[in-house]
Amino acid sequence: MHPTELIRVSRQLPLPGVGMDGQKKLKHAKVAIIGMGGLGCPAALYLAGAGIGSLGIFDHDKVEITNLHRQPLYSTAQVGMWKVDAAAFTLKEHYPDTTIIPYNLRFTLENKDLLDSYNLILDCTDNAETRYTINLASLATGKPLVYGAIAQFKGYLTILNHNNGPCLGCIFPKPAQVPSCSQAGILGVTTGHVGTLLATEALKLLLEMGRLMSGRLLVTDLLEGKFQELFTKKNPNCPYCSLNQIPQFISLSVREQDVKDWITSGKTVHLIDIRDHHEGFLDRIPGSIPIATNKLTDLSIIQAHLNSRDYTVLFCQFGNLSLSLATTLRDQGFKNVYSLEGGLQGWLKG
């Protein structure tokens, strides 16, 4: 290691478990961060700051002005840039000794081999299908997965697929109906808090120190000032880690192009818009049927639009609520119900 690298991290060297040996481990480590939003930005900043040798950063979005209040890697001048390029620029400015490897792509199982050279994975995404996909990629590659999530003022943190510990499906067999940031609202401090927890667990894993959050789920409620620890365990009948299945709901998630192809090939497609009015019906998909989320306690309002001949695609702002509802409707026996991947945002970007 170059002397200036050691001076840069000299305040952490005296810590038990770090020292020169630990610092060398960090220098040789490669960490994959999937999702460079509110969780990925602080996690990347602190990992690079700690002297991680290489960070692989995955994202396929551009910087938007609405990202800036919780994504401290990006500046106003970078609005419109690809996030991975903007993040790589800022990280290199701050921490030139860390190698940044940008992956400007949507993470799918087809590119899971990209994870082969990494020591561990951080799930910093915000949609269910990608989260379960990353879980499968972690199981397939044998790389431990540090998992963080937020819901309004609450934060969640655990380590998955480590030392025969539980996977995401063992803890959450189905995607929870967690609304995304724009639907639920979010303070930058909440994502910052979970992002630094993600980085902390990554450092503990790499340095082999402390008590890891494997087998435990930390639930924090910043509004109440409460931190709660829940114990988790491997489910011997988990369809993903024990039976090697790909969750059905991943196949329920369809892209804008799939929908357009169905329409072009003559299929009848009903698009159902399940967003709240405050999300603005200024952005609409022409011909879609609006149903406000507060009407969804009774699913018969959606069921009335389903029939066995036609295709029905549910969409919300980002694709989380629609995926959860499509899964429930499939479980109830309704065929040809899908969720639009990435929601309306995905459609508009497509």
List residues with catalytic annotation.
181, 316
Q: Which residues of 104-143 are buried (b: 16+ CB within 10 A; e: fewer)?
A: eebbeeeebebbeebbbbbbbbbbbbbbbbbbbbbbebeb
Is residue 170 part of the contact set for Zn ion (CB under 5 A)? yes
C-beta separation of 25 from 177 below 8 A: no
Pick one of 241, 250, 302, 314: the residue that binds Zn ion (CB under 5 A): 241
Angle, helices 40-49 vs 83-94, to 10°: value is: 30
Q: Based on CB atoms, which residue is closest to Zn ion, 109 or 223?
A: 109
Query: In whole angstroms, how close is the CB of 173 to Zn ion at the nearest point?
Result: 9
Provide the CB-side half-sphere exposure for 167 (13 A, CA). Answer: 27
- Order of all β-strands in the sheet with 311-315: 253-254, 337-340, 311-315, 269-273, 289-290
Pick one of 42, 169, 195, 343: the residue that binds Zn ion (CB under 5 A): 169
Piece of 93-101, 121-129, 159-167, 223-231 that binds Zn ion (CB under 5 A): 159-167
End-to-end Cα spacing for the chain: 44
Residue type, 275: R
Is residue 33 part of the contact set for Zn ion (CB under 5 A)? no
Is residue 29 part of the contact set for Zn ion (CB under 5 A)? no
Piece of 119-127, 172-180, 234-242, 327-335 that binds Zn ion (CB under 5 A): 234-242
154-160 vs 145-151, strand pairing mode = antiparallel
Give the number of residues in contact with Zn ion, rule: CB under 5 A. Answer: 6
Is residue 171 part of the contact set for Zn ion (CB under 5 A)? no
3-state secondary structure (DSSP) of residue 147: strand
Piece of 10-18, 115-123, 163-171, 278-286 that binds Zn ion (CB under 5 A): 163-171
Query: In whole angstroms, how close is the CB of 233 to Zn ion at the nearest point?
Result: 10
d(C-alpha 340, C-alpha 202), whole Å: 32
Is residue 326 part of the contact set for Zn ion (CB under 5 A)? no
Give me the torsion for CA of 280, 286, 287, 289, rounded to 10°.
-20
Helix, strand, coil share of the chain (percent; to 5): 40, 20, 40
Is residue 160 part of the contact set for Zn ion (CB under 5 A)? no
Is residue 217 part of the contact set for Zn ion (CB under 5 A)? no
Is residue 271 part of the contact set for Zn ion (CB under 5 A)? no
Piece of 160-168, 192-200, 247-255, 285-293 that binds Zn ion (CB under 5 A): 160-168
Query: In whole angstroms, how close is the CB of 160 to Zn ion at the nearest point?
Result: 8
Give me the torsion for CA of 327, 331, 337, 339, rounded to 10°.
0
Query: In whole angstroms, how close is the CB of 136 to Zn ion at the nearest point?
Result: 10
Q: Based on CB atoms, which residue is closest to Zn ion, 132 or 240?
A: 240
Is residue 321 part of the contact set for Zn ion (CB under 5 A)? no
Q: Based on CB atoms, which residue is closest to Zn ion, 241 or 250?
A: 241
Query: In whole angstroms, how close is the CB of 167 to Zn ion at the nearest point?
Result: 3
Chain positions contacting Zn ion, by CB under 5 A: 167, 169-170, 238, 240-241
